[in-house]
């Protein structure tokens, strides 16, 4: 067995790899950037080496520095995790040249699957069904348009070097083709340094079904069944499950066989995933699936496979990298029950899934219902530098209904404050009828986006509890019941207080009256109700109009987040001193709505701009956002420069009325 492994990654995946290493008695070395000095993966590892500044290009992508760190600490292997250097054949080669074991396939196998066009050509030769399309070298727009017409619309344009859904455009007809191709090529060049694209038939009623494969250095290859990752947004996975709902045995055998054949064709060793797209317009059929791409690494969603097979895939990676044969043969593997994984992200689903950053003032994850793979804890910062994933929540049950019920329950128990998360969106998805009944497809989330991201108004008992908690009258005292001995309230007598709260950009005026122990009269913007509240087992029980509500609350300074029924609501005390510098109208400042990179800055000081004109383009992890002029005017100040990384809320530009106009 290997003795010491360096993990060239961060976050949840680094933590997850470290845990299995330690269970098997393998020592670990973590690496970290400036932003990650106090990160969880650093605390868990046996040793940790600082590798550079926060931007990934200067730390987690610096293969040379990482290899030096492995040599200096006496590690005998490097585990690349996913993302970063995991699918970089030059890095895999450099690791081997340094006399270390790269915990993944050979550089030759990574290269063979690195470009989607070459991979498809290879798979076609190996007899694996591929998505119909054009994957040759020619890139002239007219030629590709003719190919698209031959394939038949709709088509999907894909960057051959693509990943993470980038450089991908669905095109409905010939008229939209040229523009879509140009923009896909531009995005591909910027993201991957390679503009080349391929054209694929857009599969109707598509389901993303992938097969986990595993090979060793002795020529053995097995598959560990399928995962269904059809619940996607912008071609990115949201909730994954295993097995795939409605999967006929015949199709499972055909897909497993095709995946093993694909892996054998490139002499595959280690963990890998073959992604297929299936046409589910008439249910799943054994002759309606096609190879899309291979990911030559451990996949984000590997835990659902672990849950249904009982295999620890990282343990297998360690054994294979130690030269051992695969622990199990194909006929020794079977499916036990059902499993789901939800990706909990720091993002604001109600505001177009903008990545969120900030300090996790509180993080409580539902460990009693689920396996939780996380790389952060209370007090950690979600920084703009890396993937804003907070945790993966994985459940298992004897069947799909019970595993999904557990997931829904677990998501309702997520308590995160300080950073907006997608927990509510995920929970609603688990309850969406097509998803709940086992009919996912890659368009499901988009079709139901409105109901999945709808803003639910805070019920009055929630507003009331927020006011009670923020009024300051209810500070917990030395008594173990925080509802006793409330200093600001003279209990059993008349007492009242006035609280001004901010909620979703609105001000709420609330008056509170104490009516006895745990009883309050609350008037919200003039509408009154009576509340009784008590504290039980870490939650608040609030009674209003003959109903009890179990609510969670996390208070941080002048703010509180209330949780209940899978939803959450955030309130802040209105600062009486604020508002002074609001003299400049809101429309006068162009503010970064998310942390990220100022990719393009088209505004110059003094320039006259028209309402709607693009002033700047920002880019954050996997998304681009255009900031346009809120009204006619001229640019008074430019406070950032192109290429600069900014925080959420940073003022980028200041507008003023254009010269010669009275009012802006």
Q: Give the chain's end-to-end CA distance (angstroms, integer).
A: 71
Query: Which of the ranges 295-303, 346-354, 368-376, 515-523 carries the binding residues for ligand ADP, by CB under 6 A?
Result: 295-303
Residue 659 is classified by DSSP as T
User: Distance between CA atoms of 88 and 14, rounded to whole angstroms?
Assistant: 18
Distances, alpha carbon 65 to alpha carbons 52, 87, 443, in Å: 9, 17, 42
Picking from 434, 300, 416, the residue whose alpha carbon sits closest to that of residue 358 is 416
Taking alpha carbons only, the member of 368, 317, 369 closest to residue 339 is 369
- Binding status of residue 164 toward ligand ADP by CB under 6 A: yes
Q: Is 82 in the site for ligand ADP (CB under 6 A)?
A: yes
Q: Select which of 169, 233, 252, 297 is catalytic.
A: 297
Q: Is 197 an interacting residue with respect to ligand ADP (CB under 6 A)? A: no
Q: Which is nearer to ligand ADP, 190 or 500 (CB)?
A: 190
Least distance in Å: CB of 293 to Mg ion? Answer: 5
Chain position whose Cβ is nearest to Mg ion:
275
| Residues near ligand ADP (CB under 6 A), total | 29
- Nearer Cβ to Mg ion, position 269 or 296? 296
- In the bound state with Mg ion, the residue whose beta carbon lies nearer, of 277 and 365, is 277
Q: Which of 115, 181, 106, 194 is nearest to 143 (CA)?
A: 181
> Residue 445, interface with ligand ADP (CB under 6 A)?
no
Q: Is position 176 an interface residue for ligand ADP (rule: CB under 6 A)?
A: no
CA–CA gap between residue 587 and residue 606 (Å, rounded)? 17
How many angstroms separate the most distant Cα atoms in the chain? 85
Q: How far apart are CB 505 and ligand ADP at their closest, in Å?
A: 31
Q: Does residue number 117 form part of the binding site for ligand ADP (CB under 6 A)?
A: no
Nearer to ligand ADP, 390 or 603 (CB): 390
Give the whole-angstrom CA distance, residue 8 versus residue 26.
16
Of 163 and 267, CB closest to Mg ion: 163
Distance CA 391, CA 368 (A): 15
Q: How far is the CB of 628 from ligand ADP (least distance, A)?
A: 25
Q: How far is the CB of 275 from Mg ion (least distance, A)?
A: 5
Q: Which stretch binds Mg ion (CB under 5 A): 7-15, 273-281, 381-389, 525-533?
A: 273-281
Pair 340, 239: CB distance under 8 Å = yes
Near ligand ADP by CB under 6 A, which window of 43-51, 161-169, 305-313, 428-436? 161-169
Distance of alpha carbon 515 from its chain centroid, rounded? 46
- Burial class for 539, CB neighbours closer than 10 Å (0-12, 13-18, 19+): middle
**Residue 636 in 3-state DSSP?**
strand
Q: Is 297 assigned a catalytic role?
A: yes
Stretch of 62-70, 268-276, 378-386, 491-499 lying at the interface with Mg ion (CB under 5 A): 268-276
Looking at the DSSP assignment, which residues form a beta bridge with residue 655? 635
Each residue 580-619 as x (binds ligand ADP by CB under 6 A) or -, in order, gives ----------------------------------------
* Window 59-78: contact mask with ligand ADP (x via CB under 6 A): --------------------
Give the pairing type, strands 354-355 and 362-364: unpaired
Does residue 275 touch ligand ADP according to CB under 6 A?
yes
Of 536, 542, 495, 497, the residue nearest 518 (C-alpha): 542
Handedness of CA 369, 7, 223, 164 (dihedral sign): positive
CA–CA dist 365, 394 (Å, integer): 11
The answer to whether 475 touches 268, Cβ cutoff 8 Å, is no
Return the SS3 of 619: strand
Question: Hey, CA dihedral for 225, 231, 235, 238, is it positive or negative?
Answer: negative
From residue 496 to residue 515, the character string flagging contacts with ligand ADP as x (rule: CB under 6 A) and all else as - is: --------------------
Q: Cβ of residue 600: shortest distance to ligand ADP, in angstroms? A: 18
* Smallest distance, ligand ADP to C-beta of residue 17, A: 14
Site residues for ligand ADP, 231-260, by CB under 6 A, read: 232, 235-237
- Answer with the entry of Mg ion, ligand ADP, none that 240 interacts with (C-beta below 5 to 8 A by kind): none
Q: Check: CB of residue 418 under 8 Å from CB of residue 364.
A: no
**Least spacing, CB of residue 31 vs ligand ADP, in Å:** 16
Q: Which part of the chain contacts ligand ADP (CB under 6 A), choosing from 65-73, 157-165, 325-333, 475-483?
A: 157-165
Choose among 52, 61, 57, 49: nearest CA to 34.
52
Name the residues that contact ligand ADP, by CB under 6 A: 82-83, 131, 156, 158, 162-165, 200-203, 206, 208, 232, 235-237, 275, 277, 292-293, 295, 299-300, 387, 442, 622
Active-site residue set:
297
């Amino acid at each position: 067995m290997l003795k010491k492994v360096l993990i060239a990654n961060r976050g949840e995946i680094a933590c997850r790899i470290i845990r299995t290493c330690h269970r098997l008695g393998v020592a670990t070395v973590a690496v970290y950037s400036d932003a990650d000095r106090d990160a969880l993966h650093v605390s868990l590892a046996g040793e940790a080496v600082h590798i550079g500044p926060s931007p990934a290009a200067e730390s987690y992508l610096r293969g040379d520095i990482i290899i030096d760190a492995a040599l200096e600490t006496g590690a005998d292997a490097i585990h690349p995790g996913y993302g970063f250097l995991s699918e970089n054949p030059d890095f895999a080669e450099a690791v081997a040249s340094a006399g270390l074991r790269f915990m993944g396939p050979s550089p030759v196998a990574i290269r063979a699957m690195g470009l989607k066009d070459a991979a498809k050509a290879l798979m076609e030769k190996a007899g694996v069904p591929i998505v119909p399309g054009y994957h040759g070298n020619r890139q002239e727009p007219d030629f590709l348009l003719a190919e698209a017409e031959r394939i038949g619309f709709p088509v999907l344009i894909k960057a051959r070097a693509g990943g993470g859904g980038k450089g991908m455009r669905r095109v409905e007809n010939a008229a939209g083709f040229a523009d879509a191709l140009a923009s896909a090529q531009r995005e591909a060049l910027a993201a991957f340094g390679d503009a080349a694209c391929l054209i694929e038939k857009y599969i109707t009623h598509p389901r993303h079904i992938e097969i986990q494969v595993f090979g060793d250095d002795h020529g053995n290859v097995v598959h560990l069944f399928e995962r269904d990752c059809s619940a996607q947004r912008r071609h990115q996975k949201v909730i994954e499950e295993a097995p795939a709902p409605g999967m006929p045995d015949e199709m499972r055998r055909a897909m497993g066989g095709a995946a093993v054949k694909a892996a054998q064709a490139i002499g595959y060793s280690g963990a890998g995933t073959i992604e297929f797209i299936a046409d589910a317009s008439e249910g799943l059929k054994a002759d309606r699936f096609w190879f899309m791409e291979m990911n030559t690494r451990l996949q984000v969603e590997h835990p659902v496979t672990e849950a249904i097979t009982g295999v620890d895939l990282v343990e297998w990676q360690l054994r294979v990298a130690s030269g051992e044969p695969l622990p199990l043969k194909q006929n020794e593997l079977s499916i036990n029950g059902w499993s789901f994984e939800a990706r909990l992200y720091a993002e604001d689903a109600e505001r177009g899934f903008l990545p969120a950053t900030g300090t996790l003032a509180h993080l409580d994850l539902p460990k009693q219902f689920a396996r939780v793979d996380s790389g952060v804890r209370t007090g950690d910062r979600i920084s703009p530098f890396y993937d804003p994933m907070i945790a993966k929540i994985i459940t298992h049950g004897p069947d799909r209904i019970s595993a999904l019920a557990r997931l829904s329950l677990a998501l309702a128990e997520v308590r995160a404050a300080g950073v907006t998360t997608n927990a509510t969106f995920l929970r609603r998805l688990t309850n969406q009828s097509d998803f709940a009944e086992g009919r996912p497809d890659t368009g499901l989330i988009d079709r139901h986006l409105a109901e999945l991201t709808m803003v639910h108004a805070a019920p009055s008992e929630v507003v009331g509890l927020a006011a009670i908690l923020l009024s300051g009258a209810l500070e917990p005292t030395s008594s173990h019941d925080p509802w006793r001995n409330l200093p600001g309230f003279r209990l059993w007598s008349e007492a009242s207080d006035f609280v001004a709260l901010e909620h979703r950009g609105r001000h709420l005026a609330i008056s509170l009256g104490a009516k006895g122990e745990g009883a309050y009269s609350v008037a919200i913007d003039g509408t009154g109700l009576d509340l009784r509240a008590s504290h039980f087992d870490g939650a608040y029980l609030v009674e209003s109009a003959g109903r009890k509500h179990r609510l969670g609350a996390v208070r941080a300074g002048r703010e509180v987040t209330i949780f209940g029924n899978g939803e959450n609501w955030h309130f802040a005390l209105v600062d009486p001193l604020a508002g002074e510098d609001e003299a400049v109208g809101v429309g006068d400042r162009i503010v970064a709505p998310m942390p990220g990179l100022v990719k393009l800055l088209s505004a110059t000081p003094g320039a006259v701009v028209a309402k709607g004109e693009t002033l700047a383009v920002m880019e954050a992890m996997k998304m681009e956002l255009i900031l346009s002029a809120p009204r006619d005017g001229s640019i008074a100040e430019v406070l950032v420069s192109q290429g600069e990384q900014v925080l959420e809320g940073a003022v980028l530009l200041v507008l003023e009325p254009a010269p010669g106009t009275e009012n802006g």
